[in-house]
Chains A and B, each alone.
Chain A
Amino acid sequence: MYAIETHKLTKYYGKARGIVDVDLAIEQGEIFGFIGPNGAGKSTTIKTLLNFVYPTSGCATILGMDCVRKSSEIKRIIGYVPPEVEYYDYMTVGELLRYSASFYGLNLNDRAHKLAERFDLPLDQRIDRLSTGNKKKTAILQAVLHRPKVLILDEPTSGLDPLMQQRMFELLLEENSRGATIFLSSHILSEVQKICGRVGIIKEGRIIQIEEIRKLRERQLKRVKVEFGHEVDDQALHEALQTVCGLPGVVRHSASGRGAELLYGGKPGQLLAALSRMEIDNLTVEEPSLEEIFMHYYEEA
């Protein structure tokens, strides 16, 4: 049984596209990153999973329970962090956490206190006096308080400073080692790549790639920068740039001035053989960032 499974999940808001044919299969105990630019459909996917909105077609289950028919049973075992936190202004943080815990029939005051201390969150402050960061912390705390089996976080890093992001990731890893499945969305890959095992990329409502972080790094894409010497005349430079950029295995290239920058996925030997016939001043070969690898997916899809 998967922690989260969707089959051709589709949501249109009237005629506006939300998500189209989203297929996901997330194992129990996974930490899954859901990556895409704004408006790609990350929140719509999450809102459909939680039955905030009804799917247009397709279906989704969480731990085998149908997201529409078993929604309130699902809520018992999940925790959710919204992208923009809006809670009852007239409550204090502590009151909100108590109100939240009461829906599960649990008394979690001790745990609430410990977590609040750890996140420097003042329990006696009113919600409407909280900074954006503290609102986010409140949201994270109310989501993990009842020890959910599946944690769904929509843009949890936004509004948190790096130190608090770090503490949140530690908390998520703890929850994960306890057995919780974690599904988090972000538009910034580098922020979540540290803790995710796999990531799915969504663009314009469709999943374009699901990959293990490890495999992404192993795809052997290299960033190659070459600069040609000044002794090369314009005619030869032009030809050389064309040759380099046209090599098989070059997935992305840009030329500027006397140099070229490539994202290269071909055989290293071929690249070296081609370069050895040219007058090169400078050559660097480096690991591309995951960001770049993803940009490559975006452009391809």
Chain B
Amino acid sequence: MLIFTNELRQGRRALIAWSISVAAYAAFFISFFGKMDMADMIKSIPEGMRTAFDMDVLDLGTVLGFWAMEGHIMTLLGGGIFATLIAAAMLAKEESDRTISFLYSKPLTRAQIVTGKLMAIFANVAIFDFIVHLGLQLGIVYLAKAEYDAGTIWWLALASLLAHISLASLGLAASSAMSKTKNALPLALALPMASFAIEIIAKASERSEWMRYLSPFYYANATDIVHNGSMARENILILIAVSAVGVALTYLMFSRKDLAA
């Protein structure tokens, strides 16, 4: 609990900066809704791109269809970078700053240290996704001035949260396997970037369609949610399972680990 509150206190500035800027992006993006002629725009886009952004499936005449086209994937990416960044640094930064020996000398088990850090990461990601989707709704109401279903937005928020937590868990597992922040950070960037690239590229052609299953972003894709009004149960379970694997690996590796000399 002490580690949790200390981490939240220490990370509050980064959290505020990240969530406000991504929320501002969401509001800015959605403000274009209804301000351009979608039919003309779509005709000018090559077919591959059209399928990549689900323009063939989505109803671009609704504000959430417009958002699902390419707004959602960008907030997934932004939040993914934020989540893996804080997760990867969470344990590794203590080791490279050598402050970890302070925690190790206190009456805490290794598992308690991981739990404290894990809770801090989850709380950060949850606050981030809450603020971003709050920003999106403010944008819809005040800038786009459109009608929308708030339930669907919170499904999008939940999907983002689950995708971000699964990326963060993988990032945390990776960082507990290494001891230098400088190794953890590139990896933190690679995870969400790769997820983003796979999700976009794989959608564009049928041959690479199977690759989508490798990206956590696929399971949190907006098209299905906007189409169905909720997130498919199997997608929820898959993202939770990925997170559980990452978390379990972290506990396992961190509690058997020697302090770097």
Contacts and interface: CB of A to CB of B under 8 A. Distances in A.
Interface of A: 13, 47, 50-54, 71-73, 75-76, 78-80, 82, 84, 86-90, 99-100, 102-104, 142
Nearest to A13: B261
Contacts of A89: 97
B213 interface: no
A82 B101 contact: yes
A53 B105 contact: no
Nearest to B112: A72
A264 B10 CA distance: 62
Contacts of B109: 71-72
Contacts of B10: 88, 90
A52 B101 contact: yes
B9 to A, nearest CB: 9
A32 B29 CA distance: 68
Given A50-B104, A73-B107, A103-B107, 10 more contacts: A13-B261, A52-B259, A54-B258, A72-B107, A76-B107, A78-B105, A79-B105, A80-B101, A84-B98, A88-B10
Among A47, A51, A52, A142, which residue has the most Cβ atoms of chain B within 10 A? Answer: A52
Contacts of B104: 50-52
Contacts of B98: 82, 84, 86
A100 B101 contact: no
B258 A100 contact: no
B106 interface: yes
A103 B103 CA distance: 9
A53 B258 contact: yes
20 contacts: A52-B101, A52-B259, A53-B259, A72-B108, A73-B107, A75-B106, A76-B107, A78-B105, A82-B101, A82-B102, A86-B98, A86-B99, A86-B101, A88-B97, A88-B99, A89-B97, A90-B10, A99-B2, A103-B108, A104-B106
B63 to A, nearest CB: 42
Contacts of A87: 99, 102
Contacts of A76: 107
Rank and list the top 7 A-B pairs by shortest CB-CB distance, nearest first.
A86-B98, A52-B259, A53-B258, A80-B105, A75-B107, A103-B106, A76-B107
Among A73, A80, A84, which residue has the most Cβ atoms of chain B within 10 A? Answer: A80
B6 interface: yes
Contacts, number: 58
A76 B109 CA distance: 11
B256 interface: yes
A47 B99 contact: no
A72 B107 CA distance: 5
A50 B6 contact: no
Nearest to A127: B99
B194 to A, nearest CB: 31
Contacts of A54: 256, 258
Contact of B2 (A13, A52, A102): A102
A90 B259 CA distance: 23
Interface in B1-50: 2, 6, 10
Contacts of A100: 102, 106
Contacts of B106: 75, 100, 103-104
A214 B10 CA distance: 51
A80 B258 CA distance: 18
Contacts of B101: 52, 80, 82, 86
Interface in B77-101: 97-99, 101
Contact of B105 (A50, A88, A99): A50
Among B2, B97, B107, B258, which residue has the most Cβ atoms of chain A within 10 A? Answer: B107
A78 B104 CA distance: 12
Interface in B146-200: none
Contacts of B97: 86, 88-89
Nearest to A76: B107
Among B105, B106, B107, B258, which residue has the most Cβ atoms of chain A within 10 A? Answer: B105
A82 B103 CA distance: 12
Contacts of B6: 99
A88 B97 CA distance: 8
A84 B100 CA distance: 12
Interface string B105-124: 11111001000000000000
Given A99-B6, A103-B2, A52 B99 contact: no
Nearest to B97: A86
